Amino acid sequence: MKYAILLSTIFLLCFGACIKDRSGTIATTIIPPNAQMLADYNFKPGSYWIFKDSVTGHTDSAYVSSVSSYLTYESCVLIQNMPEHQADVITITVNNDNNNDSENWTITLLDTNCNISCLLYTDSAYTFTGYRLFSYPIQIGQVKQPMGCVLYADSGYVTTIYDNYTLNNASYSNTAAIYETEYASLYNNYYDWFYMNSQAGFVKVVLNHPNLGVNRVLELLRYHLVK
Tens-digit pLDDT profile for residues 163-173: 999 999 999 99
User: In terms of C-beta distances under 8 Å and separation of at least 24 residues, what long-range contacts does 170-173 make, across chains too?
Assistant: 170/220, 172/197, 172/199, 172/200, 172/203, 172/220, 173/197, 173/199
| Per-residue model confidence as pLDDT tens digits over 188-219 | 577 889 999 999 999 999 988 887 778 889 99
**Measured between alpha carbons, how far is 11 from 9 in angstroms, rounded to an integer?**
5
pLDDT band at 181 (very low <50, low <70, confident <90, very high): low
Distance from the Cα of residue 10 to its chain's centroid: 17
The one-character DSSP state at 143 is P
List all residues 6 or more positions away from 153 whose beta carbon is below 8 Å from its beta carbon. 130, 131, 183, 184
Per-residue pLDDT, 170: 97
9, with CB counted inside 10 A (0-12, 13-18, 19+), is exposed
Where is pLDDT greater, at 76 or 203? 203
**Measured between alpha carbons, how far is 163 from 198 in angstroms, rounded to an integer?**
13
pLDDT band at 36 (very low <50, low <70, confident <90, very high): very high
**Measured between alpha carbons, how far is 200 from 46 in angstroms, rounded to an integer?**
14
Per-residue pLDDT, 156: 85
Where is pLDDT greater, at 154 or 60? 60
Domains in the chain with CATH codes: 2-224 (2.40.360)
For residues 29-44, give the mean pLDDT.
96
Per-residue pLDDT, 37: 97
**Amino acid present at 124:** S
For residues 67-84, give the mean pLDDT.
81
Q: What is the mean pLDDT of the chain?
A: 80
pLDDT band at 14 (very low <50, low <70, confident <90, very high): very low
Per-residue pLDDT, 124: 47
